[in-house]
Amino acid sequence: MPLLYRWYQQHQRPLPWRTSPTPYHIAVSEFMCQQTRITTVLPYYKRWLRRFPSWSALARAPQSVVLRLWEGLGYYRRARSLHALAKSVLQLPHRRLPSDPQKLLQLPGIGHYTAGAIASIAFNVPTPAFDGNVARVLGRLLARGGCTPSLFELRAVAAALVPRKNPGTHNQALMELGALLCLPKNPLCPSCPLRSACPSRLRLPQRANPRPPPTPLREHILVIRKKQSIWLTRQHPSNRWRGLHLLPTTPQPHPEARHIGRITYPFTRYKITASIDLLSRPPSGWRGKWHTPSQLSQATLPAPHRKALALLNQLGNLQNHHEGGSLPSRHQHVLACR
């Protein structure tokens, strides 16, 4: 694919891990980029390397510090897995990741795609890195009768295409093409280096197994406030966000709570609508503790719960602009519909 490689050399994004593709740098970037936009990842990646410049620095850190630095990236299982991987690396010969994809698969948090990416980019091993971008590019190139081949077939093609020379460049070029031009919607076909060979340039094919829409889910997030302190727990009815500080979450409204707003957010296969409700004391049966503003700033909360606290602050700021602390109904409506 000379045209693809030439395009990649001219148009690849100047990502920091590409200038220094060590096994550690590639592993950190791959864990962070799973299901997360690269523009979001970049500041986290730079902060991470300043705090944890090596496997040993990461392995020695308490998990609470690791999760705090990860706050805002979501999918915190990745942070815990990366932390566990660092500890495992220190038990390996020479304290280094293996180059063999099969051995990489035996380590915490590493699946087939991540093993392929680390092996090909960091170690120059000819093995595929098959992700969603690669599947989309190959699916459109190999589409027949308005449909793409199955993922099983596309994985086999991806493996067969990997060259022995510069496999990391090959894999990154395919992924970059999918990220920059062969977009899920409105692909930039006129700029594609493979457009002359692509049967999908005039009509996008249907996926063999289309992804089902997210399942709607409703919940209530309780903001429990006493003066300036906020009550936090580590319990969640669905066991989400293990190891993080949380606002209590319930499937049903609390009878003493006052509704102050609403947020929506995605979580795995769900689209969640959360009612934010204000309460003055913890619900019975929950374990937790009060946090002062300074303690709250150091606690690790998932992004939706930070949004709930921000909504409370926004409500307080609006109330401060009105005598007697009463909030006009039109402002309450605006907050509730967000």
Q: Where in the chain are the domains?
A: 2-197, 215-336
The answer to pTM > 0.85 is no
Q: What is the mean pLDDT of the chain?
A: 90
Three-state DSSP state, 167: helix
- pLDDT for 92-111, tens place per residue? 988 999 999 999 999 999 99
Phi then psi dihedrals of residue 205, to 5 deg: -80, 165
- In terms of Cβ atoms closer than 10 Å to its own Cβ (0-12, 13-18, 19+), residue 139 is buried
Could you tell me the maximum CA-CA distance found in the chain, to the nearest angstrom? 73
Number of H helices, E strands in the chain: 16, 6
CATH classification (class only), 215-336: alpha beta
- pLDDT for 15-74, tens place per residue? 999 999 999 999 999 999 998 999 999 999 999 999 999 999 999 999 999 999 999 888
Q: Any catalytic annotation for residue 323? A: no
Contact 319, 327 (CB under 8 A): yes
- pLDDT for 220-235, tens place per residue? 999 999 989 999 999 9
According to CATH, the topology of domain 2-197 is Endonuclease III; domain 1 (1.10.340)
What is residue 326's predicted lDDT score, i.e. its pLDDT? 41
* Least trusted range by pLDDT, from 106-110, 240-244, 277-281: 240-244
Q: Which residues pair with 226 in a beta bridge?
A: 229
Percent of the chain with pLDDT over 70: 92
Judged against a pLDDT cut of 60, whether residue 334 lies above it is answered with no
- pLDDT for 173-215, tens place per residue? 999 999 999 999 999 999 999 999 999 988 888 776 667 889 9
Judged against a pLDDT cut of 70, whether residue 329 lies above it is answered with no
Strands (E), 195-291: 215-226, 229-233, 249-250, 258-267, 270-279, 288-291
Judged against a pLDDT cut of 80, whether residue 323 lies above it is answered with no
- The closest of 115, 104, 110, 29 to 77, measured between CA atoms, is 110
What is residue 316's predicted lDDT score, i.e. its pLDDT? 63
The count of other CB atoms within 10 Å of the CB of residue 258 is: 11
Contact 173, 165 (CB under 8 A): no
Q: Which of 30, 71, 176, 219 is catalytic?
A: 30
Contact 260, 277 (CB under 8 A): yes
- pLDDT for 124-142, tens place per residue? 999 999 999 999 999 999 9
Judged against a pLDDT cut of 80, whether residue 255 lies above it is answered with yes
What is residue 317's predicted lDDT score, i.e. its pLDDT? 55
- pLDDT for 285-315, tens place per residue? 899 999 999 999 888 999 999 999 988 887 7
CA distance linking residue 132 with residue 130, whole number of Å:
7
